[in-house]
Structure 1
Amino acid sequence: MTNTIIDRLKEATDGLLMMSESEYPFEVIFWEEKEPLTTQKIFQLTNHPQDAPVEETELEYFLRNCAFEKEWHNEIQKEEVKKFQVLFQTLKDNLIEIKVYRVGSISIDVYIIGKTLDNNLAGVSTKIIET
């Protein structure tokens, strides 16, 4: 089961770049961790300092500009939207209680994490630049 989720996430993120002031690839994450996902748990699992700025947001809100087609998108952007829709759907179909954590400022580490059916934590991470 776990390998299937990891494979599906790898397939959904293959060649996909998170767009911000720079472009970063996605990495698949899997943690054999049964404790509830909290900000403190994210700090612990990712080795960020406990006082790092963190923002929790919803998956739909985080992907609002890349997984949902806009009138102003050109053909290339529409193709990218389709790839992000696959990632969005893969996350929704395979994980529950999905949370998005943005850790840091300017150079922000992003963790999109949810629970697997066997209660482990899985998802993807990337980086965004916001100045």
Structure 2
Amino acid sequence: MTNEITEKLKQASDGLLMISESEYPFEAFLWSNQAQEPMTAQKLLQLTGHPQETSVEEIELDYFFRNCTQEKEWHDEIQKQNVPKFKSLVKMLQDTFTDINIYRIGTINIDVYIVGKTPSGDLAGISTKVVET
């Protein structure tokens, strides 16, 4: 079941790049048996290998993908073509996981983790980077 979820995530995010000042792909991850206790900033930093003092910001799924799931005037052709793919990625995340949270770790070069609970009690999702100066 769990490999199936990471496989689904890879397929849903394949070829997509997160739009920011720089563009990064998405990577699927799975943290086995981590959904028993609630997710905290400390736990996330530990799971991702970041120093405990790194800043963590939590944001909404729709807000994070706001520039990807609707056509914008400034989109280039590829970004326009990717709008339906981003929509289906968001739908897949919503259909697959419960308690989806998005965490932004750090500033300027920001690691982003979209984390949800699987039915089997694991945490899984996709990560990417955004650059904001």
In the superposition, the TM-score normalised over structure 2's length comes to: 0.91
Size of the aligned set, in residue pairs, is: 130
Amino acid at match of 1:122: A
- The residue type equivalent to 1:103 in the other structure is I
Equivalent residue number for residue 57 of structure 2: 55
RMSD across aligned positions (CA): 1.3
Deviations 1:61-82 (A, max 9, x none): 1111112334x25653321111
Q: Secondary structure at the match of 2:126?
A: strand
Per-residue deviation, residues 53-104 of structure 1 (Å, max 9, x unmatched): 111011111111112334x256533211111112111111100100000000
Deviations 1:96-115 (A, max 9, x none): 10000000000000000000
Q: Which aligned segments of 4 or more residues in structure 1 are displaced greater than 6 angstroms?
A: none
Q: For 1:1-131, what aligned pairs fall within 5 Å after superposition?
A: 1-32=1-32, 33=34, 34-70=36-72, 72=73, 73=75, 75-131=77-133
Counterpart-to-counterpart distance in 2, 1:52 and 1:80: 32
> How much identity, in percent, do the aligned residues show?
58
**1:46 & 1:76 partners in 2: Cα distance?**
31
Which is worse superposed, 121-130 or 72-81?
72-81
Structure 1 position 52, deviation (Å): 0.8
Instruction: Structure 2 unaligned segments of length 5 or more: list them.
Output: none
Q: TM-score, normalised by structure 1?
A: 0.93
For 2:94 and 2:70, locate their aligned partners in 1 and report how far apart those are by CA, in whole Å.
15
C-alpha distance 119-22 of structure 1, shift in aligned 2 (>3 A) = same
